[in-house]
């Protein structure tokens, strides 16, 4: 960091982000997290030479800068939540929970020879007609499997246009 450059005070940073659109706030947060990760990596590399005075100073300076960055992340979070929106980290955790439930991680879904079974019960036995007039995944899978296993037409070779 240059000796002449001074960091922007938190009050000015909070004022500057008031007019930014929501995607820009999320982008700025990602940018700051990236900077924190780089500083942490730098400190990990410098830790090997912690007995050197210059390295100690660099580590200490990086810690101060990371503290400012965390403070800015808190200001960004307050601004996003103040607008009534979900903060990125909170959203990511909820998305991971939802995806684990949707992907079957929470229900014990397993695959064997292409057959999906949930808690030991075949998906064909669980297939229920969709109320929306569309096929469920299980119904579509069963129909495709039936077509692929259909012996009618197997003796015909080639492609007919």
pLDDT in tens, 14-50: 999 999 999 999 999 999 999 999 999 999 999 998 8
> Looking at residue 144, what is its pLDDT?
82
Domain that holds residue 118: 107-149
Tell me if 32 is assigned to some domain: yes
Check whether residue 21 and residue 87 sit in a common domain. yes
Of 139, 121, 123, which is closest to residue 131 (Cα–Cα)? Answer: 139
Check whether residue 43 and residue 115 sit in a common domain. no
The structure's pTM equals: 0.53
Tell me if 101 is assigned to some domain: no
> Looking at residue 146, what is its pLDDT?
81
Tell me if 102 is assigned to some domain: no
Tell me if 24 is assigned to some domain: yes
For residue 112, give the H/E element and its range: strand 109-112
Check whether residue 45 and residue 113 sit in a common domain. no
Tell me if 119 is assigned to some domain: yes
Residues 30, 144: Cα–Cα separation, whole Å: 43
Residue by residue, what is the 3-state secondary structure of 113-159?
CCEEEECCEEHHHHCCCCCCCCCCHHHHHHHHHHHHHCCCCCCCCCC
Check whether residue 15 and residue 83 sit in a common domain. yes
Of 102, 98, 97, 122, which is closest to residue 110 (Cα–Cα)? Answer: 122
pLDDT tens for each residue of 108-161: 445 555 555 555 444 444 445 545 567 788 888 888 888 777 555 555 566 666
Check whether residue 75 and residue 135 sit in a common domain. no
Tell me if 123 is assigned to some domain: yes
């Amino acid at each position: 960091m240059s000796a002449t450059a001074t960091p922007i005070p938190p009050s000015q940073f909070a004022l500057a982000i008031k007019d930014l659109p929501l995607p820009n706030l999320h982008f700025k947060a990602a940018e700051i997290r990236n900077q924190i990760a780089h500083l942490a990596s730098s400190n990990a590399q410098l830790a090997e030479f912690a007995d050197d005075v210059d390295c100690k100073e660099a580590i200490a300076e990086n810690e101060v800068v990371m503290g400012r960055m965390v403070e800015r992340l808190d200001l960004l979070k307050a601004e996003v939540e103040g607008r009534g929106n979900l903060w990125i980290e909170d959203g990511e955790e909820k998305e991971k929970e939802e995806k684990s439930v949707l992907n079957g991680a929470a229900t014990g879904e397993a695959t064997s020879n292409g057959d999906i079974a949930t808690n030991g019960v075949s998906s064909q036995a669980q297939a229920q007609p969709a109320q929306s007039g569309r096929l469920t995944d299980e119904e579509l899978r069963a129909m495709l499997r039936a077509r692929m296993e259909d012996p009618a037409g197997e003796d015909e070779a080639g492609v007919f246009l």
